[in-house]
Amino acid sequence: MRNFNEENITGAVLAAVRQGSSSRDRQVSEAVVRHLHAFVQELRPTQDEWRKAIDFLTETGKYCSATRQEFILLSDALGVSMLVDAINHNNDEGSTPTTVLGPFYYDASELMPLGSNIANTPSGDLMHVEGRVRRANGEPIQGAVVEVWHADHDGFYDVQLCEGHDLLDRRAAFRTDDSGRFWFRSRVPLHYPIPADGPVGRMLETQGRHPNRPAHVHFMITAADCEQLVTHVFLEGDPYLDSDVVFGVKDGLIVKLVDHAAGETRDGHLLECAMAVLHYDFVLADG
């Protein structure tokens, strides 16, 4: 193995990486080599351009911390996260459409009593959120764990505002009742920019793109014998629904936030004063 040039190096590297033990590992290594070599052949970078590409990835790694995942952001902003999502979910059985997890989830939400207020800071209008969780055959799911998280009215998630995971704000988990219902109080979220002060932000600028996501509430729903659902509910009328920086919007996930008078909601919960109501029913695919 010597004297490689543009014509023979790709074949030599492919032969070298075929020695791995698992066939999936070999498939992955071969695809990386084929696509990476084709990318370089197409672009014919100068040495300086290649160093800048390596610097970009190095900086992306350096931006990662306990509260920031710049590589997920990169995957999201290049539409790769939604491509992986599309490959893995077809919603054939009428289950709720899926979308990106995003970088602000963490597995630490407290189980709270149904009806709790999850907004510990006062920005944004009051919002009542309610809905039901069902199986594809229509049966309500009792005891499903509904994890929710969303940004505040200034566009920040709690993890961005404090060290570690000390202050839960607009983030919680609930268990559905015996009719599959969940409900809680929060504050209306606004559209917000993804963190754009790092390498991904610079990339967006170079590409002439804005960094915004339309207003949404994240849901992760887990129940026995069902596929875990990772999705968001988007608010109708948001100016960024058609240009979400991470390509995450699907028609079936957009709902109208309704101005509701004091009184009983569709799911039978009592509002003590007028407020916005977000109602969404989820369908989990069979596991």
Residues that bind ligand BEZ (CB under 6 A): 73, 76, 100, 102-104, 194, 213, 246
Beta carbons within 8 Å of 176's beta carbon, 6+ residues apart: 132, 133, 140, 141, 142, 143, 144, 146, 182
Smallest distance from the beta carbon of 80 to ligand BEZ, in angstroms?
A: 11
Smallest distance from the beta carbon of 179 to ligand BEZ, in angstroms?
A: 29
Among residues 102 and 199, whose Cβ is nearest to ligand BEZ?
Answer: 102
Smallest distance from the beta carbon of 4 to ligand BEZ, in angstroms?
A: 40
Please give the structure tokens belonging to residue 83: 């491509």
Among residues 235 and 275, whose Cβ is nearest to ligand BEZ?
Answer: 235
Among residues 102 and 180, whose Cβ is nearest to ligand BEZ?
Answer: 102
Instruction: List the single partner that 238 binds among ligand BEZ, Fe ion, none, CB under 5 to 8 Å by kind.
Output: none
Kindly indicate which of the ranges 55-63, 85-93, 94-102, 203-211 contains the residues binding Fe ion, using the contact rule CB under 5 A: 94-102
Instruction: List the single partner that 103 binds among ligand BEZ, Fe ion, none, CB under 5 to 8 Å by kind.
Output: ligand BEZ
Instruction: List the single partner that 13 binds among ligand BEZ, Fe ion, none, CB under 5 to 8 Å by kind.
Output: none
* Count of positions on this chain that bind Fe ion (CB under 5 A): 1
Assess contact for 85 and 75: CB atoms under 8 A.
no
Please give the structure tokens belonging to residue 6: 């543009």
Taking the alpha carbons at both ends of the chain, their separation in whole angstroms is: 49
Instruction: List the single partner that 128 binds among ligand BEZ, Fe ion, none, CB under 5 to 8 Å by kind.
Output: none
Smallest distance from the beta carbon of 169 to ligand BEZ, in angstroms?
A: 14
Instruction: List the single partner that 241 binds among Fe ion, ligand BEZ, none, CB under 5 to 8 Å by kind.
Output: none
Smallest distance from the beta carbon of 259 to Fe ion, in angstroms?
A: 24
The Cα–Cα gap between 44 and 103 comes to 33
Smallest distance from the beta carbon of 69 to ligand BEZ, in angstroms?
A: 9
Among residues 26 and 68, whose Cβ is nearest to ligand BEZ?
Answer: 68
- Report angle CA 114, 124, 103 to the nearest 5 degrees: 75
Please give the structure tokens belonging to residue 182: 């969940």
For Fe ion, the binding residues in 99-118 under the rule CB under 5 A are 102
**Contact positions toward Fe ion, by CB under 5 A?**
102
